[in-house]
């Protein structure tokens, strides 16, 4: 099991780099996870997607389907890949602190 040091906090990651415990997530953890996903700076657009994903997960207990994500945020799939090069599941959900989505390779 891997670990990520975020300030004075050590967070546990699974074999794919997702948080073992999504409850330890905070903005500093998101910034640290972003660096592991080739996202150098989290912009307002990144935060819009991250906050959407976290709110959706809190409400429904799963990550949204990509189609729903695009509809609700107004970002097309191409834009999501520009913001999160690893994609909506591996990149965006990981940075948002969500568990690895089902079907995510």
In a domain, 104, yes or no: no
Active site includes 104? yes
In a domain, 22, yes or no: yes
Active-site residue identified among 6, 13, 32, 104: 104
Between CA 105 and CA 83 the distance in angstroms is 19
Q: Give the tens place of pLDDT for each residue, 21-73.
A: 999 999 999 999 999 999 999 999 999 999 999 999 999 999 999 999 999 99
Q: Give the tens place of pLDDT for each residue, 60-93.
A: 999 999 999 999 999 999 999 999 999 998 999 9
CATH number of the domain at 38, please. Answer: 1.10.10.370
Which pair of structure tokens corresponds to residue 13? 């990651």
Phi, then psi, of 48 in degrees rounded to 5: -60, -45
| C-alpha distances out from residue 71 to 7, 25, 76, 104, Å | 36, 25, 8, 20
In a domain, 39, yes or no: yes
| Interhelix angle 44-60/66-73, nearest 10 degrees | 120
- Residue 83: name the closest of 96, 68, 102 by CA: 96
Q: Which domain holds residue 37?
A: 2-95
Number of structural domains in the chain: 1
């Amino acid at each position: 099991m891997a670990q990520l040091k975020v300030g004075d906090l050590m967070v546990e990651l699974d074999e794919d780099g997702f948080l073992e415990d999504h409850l330890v997530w905070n903005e500093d953890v998101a910034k640290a996870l972003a660096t592991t996903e080739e996202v150098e700076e989290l912009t307002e657009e990144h935060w819009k997607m991250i906050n959407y994903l976290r709110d959706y997960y809190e409400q429904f207990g799963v990550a949204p389907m990509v189609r729903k994500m695009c509809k609700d945020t107004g970002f097309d799939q191409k834009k999501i890949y520009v913001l999160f090069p690893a994609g909506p599941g591996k990149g965006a959900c990981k940075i948002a602190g969500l568990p690895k989505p089902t079907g995510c390779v």
